[in-house]
Chains A and B, each alone.
Chain A
Amino acid sequence: MRKTFRIEVDCANCAAKMETAVKKLDGVTDAAISFMSQKLVVEAPDERFDRVMKDVVKACRRVEPDCEIHL
């Protein structure tokens, strides 16, 4: 499953780092963050998606504590 989320992050470098961090997560098959359109796309197996998303949020917070992800 591939899902797009709206995010709020205000530094381009952090967005790039968040993308790298999310891509490395177990269960994430593909991910991309666009700083410009403030979008996060995550691709993960259907049955694990919600669990994986929790890790995604955690990983993003770790890189940039004040980022927002609208689930």
Chain B
Amino acid sequence: MNKRQKRTLVRILLAGALFIALCLLPAEGTVRSALFLLPYLLVGYDVLKKAALGIWHRELFDESFLMTVATIGAILLGQCEESVEVMLFYQIGELFQSVAVGKTRKSIAALMDIRPDTANVERDGQIVTVEPEQVQPGEVLVVRPGERVPIDGVVLEGVSSLNTSALTGESLPRDVAPGDEALSGCVNITGALRIRAEKPFGESTVSRILELVEHSSLKKSRAEQFITRFARVYTPAVCAAALLLAVVPPLFLGGWADWVSRALTFLVISCPCALVISIPLSFFGGIGGASRAGILVKGGTDLEALARTKTVVFDKTGTLTKGVFEVSSVQPAPGFSAQRVLELAALAESYSNHPISRSLREAYGQTPALARVSAAEELAGKGVLARVDGRAVLAGNARLMEENGIAAVSPALPGTVVFVAEGGVFAGSIVISDLAKPTAAQAVAAMREQGVRTVMLTGDTEKTAQAVGTALGIDETHGSLLPDGKVEHVERLLDEKPPKSALAFVGDGINDAPVLSRADVGIAMGAMGSDAAIEAADVVLMDDDPLKIALAMRLARRCMRIVRQNIVLALGVKAACLLLGALGAAGLQAAIFADVGVMVLAVLNAIRTLRLSR
């Protein structure tokens, strides 16, 4: 609690004690009423002051104004005890609200507090501790175990593991060695590192993420805008109704005091605080909870759209597949073993730096003995001709085999095929393809479970696209697409989607910015360190696990459910109390309980958005 809150608490306690003492006092009539003014003023003087200021500034209809009118009205009717009670409860409610909201706000902020406080820089042979903002690119930083990497840089010296959970929500540490990139916000776990700063602090990953999260609550969702507009209409409307209630029925029925007291109940109920406080809090909690899982949502509107998503369009490479070529199958010809085919291919291609050659060497598992290879010759667009252990070896595509008169057998699998021949005899074929991520099928299934239509678009060949799509259980697959073809497909899908639902596009952030911005929700994956993706997307997944897409959608739906619950709860209880108040069945005390109680429940409900259910 801060100073102001503590002072309020003391005032509430003193006024409460005084109120109880006065209730026991045998005073009667005017003296008694005058005495009750003491606790009333003690607990409520700031409310009265604010109301007066509001009238002065012509800013009517705020809570203070309503409470002041209601309680002064009650005093004039001779209901001094009631007005003290109402003011007491009102202040208790306000205090609770400001403490609870303040606490929640701080805990969310702490959760996202990945800002490094200091940086240790080597200057003139000494290690100086400075603020991260003061470090220039090119300077050398020392990061000891347990410290946070303050600025994006490259490891010069030292081997360690970095905990990236603050950035990705992933608990598996990442190993770094000299030459590797070290991103700011990661915590160094095992060994001391010397890092050369590559960027100023303001452009480092950690600053960009903080900026994004802090600004997310400024992009207001439709629900939040609705609440603001609603509050503007609701309070004056209820006040007008109160006035009518105080004047019109007694003209016909008489009993002024009773009707005025009912009208005062109306005024107390007319505070829209439960709504106004709990809706932004729910969004803030939802966005905060998601960011803890490595899902950055740029604003309330994006969370809303994510919850409405019924169509998800994937870019294949780097999203559902690893984007790295790997040997997926080896089919040896009769008389050759799979290992032999791989060995021949890896040796023949040992001088090449082509991604395919690299994947061959990786599958071979050993460093090829270069001494065994001679006269390696790269034939552009066809493959490689080399002598391995003195024998002529060919490794390449179907055309290479054809030109050399070798009868090659094509495998029936999708992907890039490398044919291998040894001494003029076909040895076998190796299929290299972009493998699906291990969680891709699970992620697609999880989305289908949520009733989402999945579509995959790729620049890869139709055959490969269909094979991957079928394996992952995707509803619709289109291959051989150029970037503008992808935009066309997304536009068609935008037309086809069910009304009021949203379409999300998932890409790896590399050259799919036009599609990302065209979709209702643009989701960029594996964005650690990629500025372009963070700019273009609405939702940024810090790592490249496709399961996070399904998780993001689930979190968004849950958050929206809580928002709706709070709207219904707050409006429902208020409506019921207004009705009971008008009928004279609920007095001032019931009204203030309804007001404060609903607010407490709504705030507690909103805090639930913070919890992650995986």
Seed contacts A12-B277, A16-B228, A62-B57; 10 additional CB < 8 Å A-B pairs = A11-B63, A11-B98, A11-B273, A12-B101, A13-B63, A13-B231, A32-B218, A37-B217, A37-B284, A39-B217
Contact partners of B53 in chain A: CB under 8 A: 65
Contact call B284/A36, Cβ cutoff below 8 A: yes
Contact call A16/B284, Cβ cutoff below 8 A: no
Of all chain A residues, the one with the shortest Cβ separation from B220 is: A32
Contact partners of B277 in chain A: CB under 8 A: 12-13
**A65–B218 CA distance with the chains assembled, in angstroms:** 22
Contact call B57/A36, Cβ cutoff below 8 A: no
B residues near A (Cβ < 8 Å) are 50, 53, 57, 59, 62-63, 98, 101-102, 105, 108-109, 214-215, 217-218, 220, 228, 231, 272-273, 276-277, 280-281, 283-284
Of all chain B residues, the one with the shortest Cβ separation from A63 is: B59
Contact call B218/A41, Cβ cutoff below 8 A: yes
Contact partners of B273 in chain A: CB under 8 A: 11-13
Of all chain A residues, the one with the shortest Cβ separation from B109 is: A37
Instruction: Bits for A16-46, please: 1 = Cβ < 8 Å to B, else 0.
Output: 1100100000000000111111110100000
Quick check: is A50 within 8 A (CB to CB) of the other chain? no
Counting contact residues on chain A (CB < 8 A from B), the size range is: 20 to 34
Contact partners of B281 in chain A: CB under 8 A: 12, 36
Quick check: is A7 within 8 A (CB to CB) of the other chain? no
Contact partners of A13 in chain B: CB under 8 A: 62-63, 231, 272-273, 276-277
Contact partners of B101 in chain A: CB under 8 A: 10, 12
Quick check: is A53 within 8 A (CB to CB) of the other chain? no
Contact call B98/A14, Cβ cutoff below 8 A: no
**A12–B277 CA distance with the chains assembled, in angstroms:** 6
Contact partners of A35 in chain B: CB under 8 A: 217, 280
**A39–B215 CA distance with the chains assembled, in angstroms:** 8
17 A-B Cβ contacts within 8 A?
A10-B98, A11-B273, A12-B101, A12-B273, A12-B281, A13-B63, A13-B231, A13-B272, A14-B62, A20-B228, A36-B108, A37-B109, A37-B218, A37-B284, A39-B218, A63-B57, A65-B50
**A64–B370 CA distance with the chains assembled, in angstroms:** 78
- Are A62 and B59 also in contact (CB < 8 A) when A12-B277, A37-B214 are? yes
**A17–B282 CA distance with the chains assembled, in angstroms:** 20
Contact partners of B109 in chain A: CB under 8 A: 37
**A21–B218 CA distance with the chains assembled, in angstroms:** 16
Contact partners of B284 in chain A: CB under 8 A: 36-37
**A36–B50 CA distance with the chains assembled, in angstroms:** 23
Q: How far is the CB of A44 from chain B (nearest CB, A)?
A: 16
Of all chain A residues, the one with the shortest Cβ separation from B217 is: A34
**A2–B63 CA distance with the chains assembled, in angstroms:** 32
Contact partners of A38 in chain B: CB under 8 A: 105
Contact partners of B276 in chain A: CB under 8 A: 12-13, 16
**A15–B560 CA distance with the chains assembled, in angstroms:** 22
Q: How far is the CB of B317 from chain A (nearest CB, A)?
A: 36
Contact call B217/A17, Cβ cutoff below 8 A: no
Q: Which of A4, A10, A33, A65 has the most CB of B within 10 A?
A: A10
Contact call B272/A17, Cβ cutoff below 8 A: no
Of all chain A residues, the one with the shortest Cβ separation from B277 is: A12
**A17–B57 CA distance with the chains assembled, in angstroms:** 13
Q: How far is the CB of A38 from chain B (nearest CB, A)?
A: 7
**A1–B276 CA distance with the chains assembled, in angstroms:** 30
Contact call B228/A36, Cβ cutoff below 8 A: no
Contact partners of A37 in chain B: CB under 8 A: 105, 109, 214, 217-218, 284
Of all chain B residues, the one with the shortest Cβ separation from A20 is: B228
Top 4 A-B residue pairs of the complex, sorted by shortest distance between their CB atoms: A36-B284, A34-B217, A32-B218, A13-B276
Q: How far is the CB of B56 from chain A (nearest CB, A)?
A: 9
**A41–B299 CA distance with the chains assembled, in angstroms:** 15
Contact call A34/B105, Cβ cutoff below 8 A: no
Q: How far is the CB of A1 from chain B (nearest CB, A)?
A: 16
Q: How far is the CB of B215 from chain A (nearest CB, A)?
A: 8
Contact partners of B228 in chain A: CB under 8 A: 16, 20
Contact partners of A16 in chain B: CB under 8 A: 228, 231, 276
Contact call A36/B280, Cβ cutoff below 8 A: yes
Contact partners of B272 in chain A: CB under 8 A: 13
Partner of B102, one of A10, A20, A33: A10
Contact call A17/B59, Cβ cutoff below 8 A: yes
Q: How far is the CB of A19 from chain B (nearest CB, A)?
A: 8
**A13–B59 CA distance with the chains assembled, in angstroms:** 13
Partner of A39, one of B57, B102, B214: B214
Contact call B105/A36, Cβ cutoff below 8 A: yes
Of all chain A residues, the one with the shortest Cβ separation from B59 is: A63
**A11–B50 CA distance with the chains assembled, in angstroms:** 13
**A44–B249 CA distance with the chains assembled, in angstroms:** 52
Q: How far is the CB of B377 from chain A (nearest CB, A)?
A: 60
Contact partners of A32 in chain B: CB under 8 A: 218, 220
Q: Which of A4, A12, A17, A20 has the most CB of B within 10 A?
A: A12
Contact partners of B59 in chain A: CB under 8 A: 17, 62-63
Q: How far is the CB of A53 from chain B (nearest CB, A)?
A: 18
**A16–B62 CA distance with the chains assembled, in angstroms:** 12
Contact partners of B215 in chain A: CB under 8 A: 39, 41
